[in-house]
Amino acid sequence: MNKFTPENIETLEQIILARRDVRGNRFINTPILQKDLDKILFAGVNAPSVGFSQPWEFVVIKDLDIRNKIKDSFFEENEKAKTLFEGKKADAYTQLKLEGIVESALNIAVFYKPSEHPVLGQTTMKEAGVYSVVCAIQNMWLMARALNVGLGWVSILDPNKIKTILNAPENRQLIGYLCLGHVDKFYENPELERLQWEKRKNINDVVIKECYQ
């Protein structure tokens, strides 16, 4: 059994705290080495999964024609999203660069592939399979940061349109659309925290002892 040192623990904590959601204005024109991409994907496929189901599939996209079609979907959905915010947030929203679909070195579409058979641990909470795929994305995010590769998760997309563009099977569910590439810098703090979009929550406000009162 592996036993980790205090130095290992501190390094992991540093990676967790240094992880950032990278926007398109931070990516630079430097390819991702294949060995680094392999490590990021390796981290994903070694994530925890309910019933050891490993219900994930990763579509690696470098083709710019495909990515431009994806970006068109982003523009459509982003126009709809703008109408949902008011006041200062509406003004701030228009200034945000919320994706790096074509600026990044490559994209990865992460899909959930449901099992045709009952899955241990998923018989009651069906969504646990999707949660497993999210665990894979988090693993990839942390490995990317450890390799000094930026990763941004684009969620302002129409999942069905993305499935059509990528010719995904009908039963697949898009969970995450990721933009990966080297960056000019990583912000010290999350960008939305820096821009005062939201404040960081205090741990004492979200940790509940024993049960809700």
Predicted TM-score (pTM) of the model is 0.93
User: For residue 115, what are the CA distances in angstroms to 29, 46, 53?
Assistant: 39, 18, 8
Mean pLDDT of 176-193: 91
User: Is pLDDT at 63 greater than 80 in this prediction?
Assistant: yes
Mean pLDDT over residues 199-208, rounded? Answer: 92
User: How much is the mean pLDDT over the chain?
Assistant: 93
* pLDDT given for residue 158 in this prediction: 96
What DSSP line would sit under 92-144, residue for residue?
HHHH-----TTTSSEEEEEEE---SS--TT-SS-TTHHHHHHHHHHHHHHHHH
Instruction: Give pLDDT, residue 91.
Output: 67
Q: What does 39-53 look like in DSSP terms, one character per residue? A: HHHHHHHTS--GGG-
Which residue from 148, 195, 200, 154 is spatially nearest to 174, judged by alpha carbons?
154
pLDDT in tens, 139-159: 999 999 999 999 999 999 999
41 pLDDT band (50/70/90 cuts)? Answer: very high
pLDDT of 71-121, one tens digit each? 999 999 988 888 888 877 776 777 677 889 999 999 999 999 999 999 999
Amino acid at 58: F
Task: At 60, list the tokens.
Answer: 């690696």
Burial (CB < 10 A; 0-12, 13-18, 19+), residue 154, is: buried
pLDDT band at 195, cuts 50/70/90? confident
Structure tokens at 15: 């990676």
**For position 89, what pLDDT does the model report?**
79
